[in-house]
Chain A
Amino acid sequence: MKPVYITHTSAVSPQHQDGIQLFHPLVTDTHGVLRAIEPDYTTEIPPMQLRRMSRMLRMGVYTGMNCLKRSGIARPDGIITGTGKGSMTDTEKFVKELSEYQEASLNPTPFILSTYNAINGAIALQTKATGYNQTYVHRGSSFEVSLYDAQLKLHTAPEPQHYLVGCFDEMTSEYFLVKSKIGYWKADRDSSRPLWQQSGSPGTLAGEGAAFFMLSNSNAGAIAGIHAIQTAYKTPLTDIGREAHTLISRTGWRPQEIDMLVLGVNGDERDLPYYEALQQSFPDTLPILGFKHLCGEYETSGGFALWMLCQLLDGHTLPDAAWYRRPEGQAFRPEKILYYNHYRGLNHNLVLLSNAPVGTR
């Protein structure tokens, strides 16, 4: 398929983004959790609507609307979102109220807001966008498959079109508790140490956030190109490297052209072997961008990774702490990037990205 281009981005994440330098000061996890820094939502959401929205709705709608504002596009041609959990707060609330009130006199609001497509519906409503509208809820591939569908849609569009594509997930204390019972989180976490120094035990950091992207089939004003997206289920450890190389060849690239990796390493010894297997099929000098020590592990953490990559490609300097393996020299700008992120060894995502061609910005 033809590449698609990212022209604008917006994110809400656990890290600061408004200072002179990105991610300054760096936020570390507290009790194994990285919580999103919530913005002033009123800049993007009318007060009347804001009052009716729960936290996840606010975060998602804000980020989507902010991305639209930055791109100067009032009404996107399509809206596609991915989420692992949707508004978990509302789901939890409605489940509990069902038993508390014994199925009587229930307030329907949390039921409505718990629907996974509530955010793309709300953005469509706010922008009167009547075009393509879609929601993917495929756990650790929810975001990447949203990108894939956008590429599929834009591939067949004869005219330049603009799709708003994004993702969101929240970490609630209940969800944290429930998933702790099946060993999701790192028990012996010492947040004064970098996560990479604690990769010898099971468990990871919990995280959350929202990220939205304006995608187009036209490269005018592009920050980055997305050339290929592959989502797969239960890829065997021994096949990871080959899968990446096959995707690169099929895209018409050569493996030696890849000059940077973005990897979803998360400090969990059970998840690490997949990333190591991928690294082994590329030179051990390639810079590697990590991101889960900054945003935590969640189903759509890839949105934060892609957002951070776009900041780098757009000329921002990332702090040393962002890198899993630092590049040499300050002015490093990659040309061809391989992104690999998997969720608990089940959902495996590969994305090929490029720095936007010279002259498109």
Chain B
Amino acid sequence: MVQITGIGMITALGNTVAENLQAILEEKEVLGHPNILQTRHRNEMVVGEVKQTNEQLAAALNLPGAGFSRTTLLGLHALRETLKTLPPEQRAPKKIAFINATTVGGMSDVENLYSDMISPATEGDFLSYIDSLDCADCTQRMADYFDLRGFQTTISTACSSSANALQLGARMIESGEADIAICGGADALTRFTLNGFNALKNVDKKPTRPFDQHRNGLNLGEGAAYLILESETSAKERDAAAIAVLAGYGNTNEAHHPTAPSPDGAGALLTMQEALSVAGLDKEAIDYINAHGTATLGNDLSEGTAIERLFGNQDYPHFSSTKAFTGHTLAASGAVGAIICCLAIRGSFIPPNLRFETPMEEIGIVPQKKLLRNTPVRYALANSFGFGGNNVSLVLGDVNLRS
């Protein structure tokens, strides 16, 4: 059994898990125009921005103001919180894997310095960011900061990246390859991704409305989230309390289109079915689905159809997209969703799907519009679907049901 013994996150909603939880319970709306991201769209688009500059983020970590990409800084903040339940003295005897995920790595800073990088100049601020061109840079810098010395890797499967990090970590623990796997992802807001999605006509300029008939695309967010996965034996040895369990996972490819999911939800359905099968659960065990729910026309139709095909339109579990709170945090979103599932399980509540008004015509199910308290969540599904057809579903469960 793979236990979750640590969580940490930073999003536009808050700098810690507690702040994120509080904001969800207060149904707080934080999406707005960007102040920190320098973009010509700043007055016309809303995003989920962490309201700390790079200098502020770095200072809080006792790091110099330059040389670290925003992606790395966000990652370090979330990982610092995650590692509170795994102090350095408890790390030494363990086989620890660090599995990070990002979609564009240090692009947040490289895009500001790229003209210098390709100019004839050989000296300048850009030098310390040259290695941030790739996705491993943030992983390695995070490993350096916390002195993580074991297996280490970086995954990039677009929006399912950190969900993939979690499934790899779970498999390494199940195969005895690791005692502990620290898994998650980080992505900062960039002009690169904002304009990429905008060019694809996937961006809603107003606050996003997942699963609504009148939805019109996603809002980009930024953030980082990490979970500690751990074998039961290892957790017991160091008296670590389990927050929840990672009971199952599915990874499939939709093989439908480079960027669009199939309208019949075949890919999403297959992924959720595989996750349930790995968890050894019937669909009735699921009480909540943290949907991918990007609010693009394609995703919500495909995912909504898949949920309806799997669970029917009568006794289907509560589902919501928390991207209406945080924006789409890309590579971080899978881990953000997984942590929100942990919170829902621990706190017996269903996170609301903000701004939902009108049911979609094509499907007979609707997301949970309002916060529901005192609602037991035994098992939760967290969906992450990406470009390239890379789909992942995770099953998180109440630790008391698995002992």
Binding site for B on A (CB under 8 A): 1, 79, 84-86, 94-96, 98-99, 102-104, 106-108, 111-112, 115-118, 120-122, 124-125, 127-139, 141-142, 145, 149, 152-153, 155-156, 174-175, 177-179, 181-182, 231-234, 299, 346-347
Contacts and interface: CB of A to CB of B under 8 A. Distances in A.
B253 A79 contact: yes
Contacts of B368: none
A138 B171 contact: no
Contacts of A104: 40
A125 B389 contact: yes
B172 A152 contact: yes
A139 B136 contact: yes
B172 A106 contact: no
Interface centre among A86, A103, A115, A139 (most CB of B within 10 A): A115
Given A98-B191, A115-B388, A107 B258 contact: no
Contact of A121 (B139, B171, B388): B388
B149 interface: yes
B111 interface: yes
B192 A111 contact: yes
Given A112-B259, A139-B134, A132 B139 contact: no
Interface string B188-216: 00011001101110000000000000000
Contacts of B257: 125
Contact of B192 (A79, A94, A145, A155): A94
B367 to A, nearest CB: 27
A138 B259 CA distance: 23
A115 B387 contact: yes
B130 A178 contact: yes
B202 to A, nearest CB: 9
A228 B205 CA distance: 50
B41 A346 contact: no
Given A121-B389, A232-B151, A111 B164 contact: no
A117 B254 CA distance: 13
Interface stretch (B113-121, B281-289, B371-379): B113-121
Contacts of B131: 182
A182 B126 CA distance: 11
Nearest to A85: B134
B135 A118 contact: no
A174 B115 CA distance: 11
B39 interface: yes
A132 B275 CA distance: 12
Interface of B: 39-41, 102-103, 105, 107, 110-111, 114-115, 117-118, 122, 127, 130-131, 133-137, 139-140, 143, 149, 151-158, 164, 168, 171-172, 174-175, 177, 191-192, 195-196, 198-200, 251-259, 267, 270, 386-390
A236 to B, nearest CB: 10
A231 B134 CA distance: 18
A124 B389 contact: yes
A84 B156 CA distance: 11
Contact of A95 (B114, B143, B171, B258): B114
Nearest to A79: B253
22 contacts: A86-B156, A96-B114, A112-B258, A112-B387, A115-B158, A117-B158, A117-B387, A118-B387, A121-B389, A124-B388, A131-B252, A133-B390, A139-B136, A152-B171, A152-B177, A177-B118, A178-B118, A181-B127, A181-B130, A182-B127, A233-B149, A299-B134
Contacts of B149: 233-234
A127 B140 CA distance: 35
A118 B172 CA distance: 25
B389 A133 contact: yes
A118 B157 CA distance: 9
Nearest to B136: A139
Contact of A122 (B134, B168, B258): B258
A133 B251 contact: yes
Interface centre among B105, B133, B137, B177 (most CB of A within 10 A): B133
Nearest to B254: A130
A118 B175 contact: no
B111 A135 contact: no
A220 B256 CA distance: 32
A62 to B, nearest CB: 17
